[in-house]
Amino acid sequence: MNRRALFAASGLAAAAAGAGLSWWQSRPAQPSPDTSPSPDLWSLRFAQPNGGDLVMARLRGRPLVLNFWATWCPPCVREIPQLSRFAREFGPAGWQVVGLAAESAEPVRRFLQNLPIDFPVGLAGMQALELSRELGNAQGALPFTAAFDTAGRKVQQRLGETHFDELAQWAQALRGPTR
């Protein structure tokens, strides 16, 4: 093999290796399977702002929309009427809505005096943020909403403000109860 052909072959091999390395480094990361245990929602219990406990086990077997919120979170406050509407309109068909407040009882009680909510509220404090992370909220931000089917499997989630139409689409996508 002459010298010129040897240089050409070496150059092509180097270009191919560089292109292969570039492709390897730029390809999208493959998600690793989630091997972390998902939280057992049905074993949890939360105090309610006006007394008593919200026992999640009592909600088992029906589709559930679980919303993480706080009174100091403007998008959380804006979406509450949307969640209440969903609870009113889809509740008779079996859907449930639960709000978990990421704060203590007193601010939530004051808030509920001004804006009644048509679904149960549990006081989860900082546990709300950890639980929302376990459910897929990697940022730990609010509001965060997740929907669960009748078997308790998470089937939808949304970080940020949700709306009635989106929740209704979730319900219809599950082929669950519709309005």
Residue 1 has pLDDT above 60, yes or no: no
pLDDT tens-digit readout, 147-163: 999 999 999 999 999 99
Q: Give every CB contact of residue 62 below 8 A, 6+ residues apart in sequence.
A: 94, 95, 96, 150
Average pLDDT score over residue span 94-114: 96
Six-digit token string for 126: 């900082």
- CB hemisphere CA count around 105 (13 angstroms): 8
What is the average pLDDT score of the chain? Answer: 82
Domains of the chain: 41-173 (3.40.30.10)
Q: Alpha-carbon distance 55 to 96, whole Å?
A: 13
> pTM of the entire structure?
0.77
